[in-house]
Every structure is written in structure tokens, then in C-alpha cells.
Amino acid sequence: MAKNYRLIVEGGLQEVALEENGDGSYRAELGGKSYSLELESVDDNTLFRFWVNGERIPIAISREGMALEVFIGPDRYSAEIERSAGSLTQSGPTIAGEVQLRAPMTGQVTEVLVAAGDQVEEGDPLLVMVAMKMNNEIRSPATGRIIEVSVEAGDAVDQGDLMLVIDTESA
């Protein structure tokens, strides 16, 4: 049975159906096309050997919460797994406790949309940052209360820098 995902890739919504074949390979349905996929981890699950329809493609994936940075050859894509109701599969574990949201990439914060004390729902926009001349809206990975905002508009951040903290216990 296929698992269905909604991905926000470069600002556009994509629906992907993945079905495991049982031998480590997958069948993917994307944009009305079907693909045969094989994925083999090379290290700690960030670098992979990846085959699409038998063609080997170098790929690296970095995941922070529901945000993904995907490097396919020389091309970089930002994606976000969207949790939604209905027939689409809920992916990822429930996030509980204190969540530290860190910069998913190096860039500049252009807008901070929340303040300490604000209640947020999973998926709510928290801030906007520019990286590689693209605006990236950073969304909440969990429902809770903002307990700390470590950045402000105009700040430069490096990948991994703490941007804000969410307390999911006060949701």
C-alpha cells in the first residue's frame, strides 16, 4: 500500500505516493509519472546512492523537523513535509517538550512573524529568511507557545544557529 505525502518544494505543493516493493526499492508517483527508486545510505543517513529508473544520481538530504534540504547533483531544493488530514499519511513522530528551531540554511532573516508568548499551531509561519536569493518561509514543526526568539529582522544566520524555542507542553 502506498504512503502519500504532500511536499512544499520551492514554494509549490507536490503530492507524492511512495510504495515499498519489499526489496529496498520503491515505486513513486509524482506529477502523473511513475518512477522506480532505489536508495542506499552511504553514511549517517545524509548521503545516499540514489537510482531513478536505473540511472544513478548523487543525492544528499538534510532533515530538520519537517524541513528538508535536498541536493541532487549540483542543484539544491528546499522542501517541507506538509502534515494534513484526509487520505494523506501523517509522517514523522509527534514532537513533544521544548523544540529548538535552528536555521536550516545559511541566510538572512528578513521577517520575524512571532514573539515570545505567542501560541502557534504546527505549520504556522514563524519567520522568513533569504538564502541563495530566495525567500524561505520557516514554519512551526509543532503546536505550542514561543518561549524564546533569538533572531530579529536583518540578522545573518548560519545553518544550525538557534532561531527560536517552542514549548509544546503549553499547547
Whether residue 64 is found in the same domain as residue 123? no
Enter the C-alpha cell of residue 83. 502534515
Whether residue 39 lies inside any domain: the answer is yes
Residue 23 sits in a domain whose CATH number is: 3.30.700.30
The answer to whether 82 touches 141, Cβ cutoff 8 Å, is: no
Question: Which range marks the domain in which residue 140 is found?
Answer: 98-170
- Using alpha carbons, select from 92, 65, 90, 62 the residue that is nearest to residue 78: 62
> What's the rounded Cα separation, in Å, for the pair 108 and 121?
24
Whether residue 74 lies inside any domain: the answer is yes
Enter the C-alpha cell of residue 91. 509522517
Whether residue 69 is found in the same domain as residue 130? no
pTM: 0.47
Whether residue 91 lies inside any domain: the answer is no
- DSSP string for residues in 92-131: SPPP-SEEEEE-SSSEEEEEE---TT-EE-TT-EEEEEEE
Whether residue 66 is found in the same domain as residue 120? no
pLDDT tens per residue, range 88-126: 333 344 455 788 888 878 889 999 999 999 999 988 999
Count how many domains the chain has.
2
Enter the C-alpha cell of residue 88. 494523506
157: Cα within 13 Å, side-chain hemisphere? 27
Start-to-end C-alpha separation, the chain: 34
How many other C-beta atoms are found inside a 10 Å radius of the C-beta of residue 131?
A: 18
Whether residue 8 is found in the same domain as residue 78? yes
Residue 119 sits in a domain whose CATH number is: 2.40.50.100
3-state secondary structure of 168: helix
pLDDT tens per residue, range 12-53: 667 777 788 877 788 888 777 888 888 776 765 566 677 778
Q: Which ranges of the chain does DSSP label H, i.e. alpha helix?
A: none
> What's the rounded Cα separation, in Å, for the pair 78 and 168?
25
Whether residue 74 is found in the same domain as residue 105? no
State the pLDDT confidence band at 10, using cuts at 50, 70 and 90. low
